[in-house]
Amino acid sequence: MRFSLLILGEHPPQPLAGLVRQAEAAGCDIFWYADEKFYRDPFVGLTLAAQASTRIRLGTCVTEPYARHPALLAMAVASLDEVAGGRAVLGIGAGGSGFPPMGIERRSPARAIPEAVTIIRGLLRGETVEFSGRVFSFRRGRLNFPARPGIPIYVAARGRAMLRAAGAVADGVIIAPYASARGLRFAIDRVAEGAAGSGRALQELDLVARVDVCIAADRAAARQAARYAVALPMWISYPNLTYLDPLDLPPPPEDLVAVLARRDYALIGQAAAMVPDAYLDHLAVAGTLEDVVAQLDQIRRAGVAHITLRPVAPPGGTVQGVVEALVRDVMPRFRAEAPAERRR
């Protein structure tokens, strides 16, 4: 089992550097940094992470091609890779946070992401790219400095069409926010369909389960803290909540849907208070240490050998405290059970 760590942009430089060092010392594969508007810029944070580390790979989880044109993403990740000595990874998805204030529309994501990947890969190969797509275009442009053509591109997905698109074009697929075997098996099957359609085997892709994790002695408090993490992707995906269908859950309460429909990022906390308890079992990993270990074991048994953990602070606790518990009490249990997986 391989583990990676995902951190949001709320941390100033010194704590961020400490978290990077902690992840590297724990043997994490990738340190992911979120592009969550309007927190700190992910590429600035990852540059700091590069200076604070020597081995761990560094990537966005995830950035998006709507506010940041694919050509600018190629430029940014190639610059990061240069600073980090060849350790950069590009995590890309459809995004959504910050779009309403910027007046940005998330158009045809299952078409947009493959188009973005095409542009990015061409630029990283040093090509002069001429591309005219349904969503993105690029007119005979190129990077003005040499880039590493093999920078891995991971695509984050949760809906059927996006999972298939990711399977067709990505080096790795970040499956989120499914945190149960039922959701993950559905997602893996869709990724496999996309891979097969492109003449690839599922085994060629790095499948990553990206889960929000909260550990506390008080199980109820941990689950309460995780509600925001469940509400956020609902807010981003609204009005298309079909990613919930495979989980066989009751429909979202009408008052919750009404809050999502207002498209106000500041109301996500209000929406979180309305998330049904059953949703937490499939869309977050929260509870006591033993609860968390048991649920991560379900994820492993669903066919995922790489888990990205996004620590959620419990009431009265800190993100750093959750990371310490994961490093000290969780990761060693899984690494002791099986030989180390081959790195991609």
90-99: pLDDT as tens digits:
999 999 888 9
In angstroms, the Cα distances linking 259 to 36, 107, 282 are 20, 22, 21
pLDDT value of position 344 = 40
Tell me what the mean pLDDT of segment 118-132 comes to. 98
248-259: pLDDT as tens digits:
999 999 999 999
Backbone angles phi, psi at 156, to 5 degrees: -90, 140
Please tell me which residue, 97 or 122, carries the higher pLDDT value.
122
Tell me what the mean pLDDT of segment 34-38 comes to. 94
pLDDT value of position 337 = 58
Cα angle, residue 260 at apex, residues 257 and 263 outer, rounded to 5°: 150
The band of 339, judged by pLDDT with boundaries at 50, 70 and 90, is very low
pLDDT value of position 144 = 98
pLDDT value of position 342 = 35
Whether the per-residue pLDDT at 343 is higher than 50: the answer is: no
Considering the chain, what percentage of its residues have pLDDT values greater than 70?
97
The band of 147, judged by pLDDT with boundaries at 50, 70 and 90, is very high
126 φψ region: left (φ > 0), alpha (ψ -120 to 50), beta (else)? left
Whether the per-residue pLDDT at 21 is higher than 80: the answer is: yes
Q: How far apart are CA 272 and CA 225, in angstroms?
A: 9
pLDDT value of position 244 = 97
Helix/strand/coil for 128: coil
Highest mean pLDDT among 44-48, 265-269, 339-343: 44-48
Nearest to 112 by CA among 174, 173, 69, 172: 69
Q: Domain segments of the chain: what residues?
A: 2-215+282-337
Nearest to 7 by CA among 296, 331, 343, 323: 323
Tell me what the mean pLDDT of segment 45-56 comes to. 98
Tell me what the mean pLDDT of segment 319-329 comes to. 96
198-219: pLDDT as tens digits:
999 999 999 999 999 999 999 9
In angstroms, the Cα distances linking 35 to 60, 91, 228, 266 are 7, 10, 17, 17
- Contact predicate 23/61, CB 8 Å: no
283-319: pLDDT as tens digits:
999 999 999 999 999 999 999 999 999 999 999 999 9
Tell me what the mean pLDDT of segment 313-337 comes to. 92
Fold of the CATH domain 2-215+282-337: TIM Barrel (3.20.20)
DSSP single-letter state for residue 63: B
pTM of the model: 0.94
Cα 37 to chain centroid distance, Å, stands at: 15
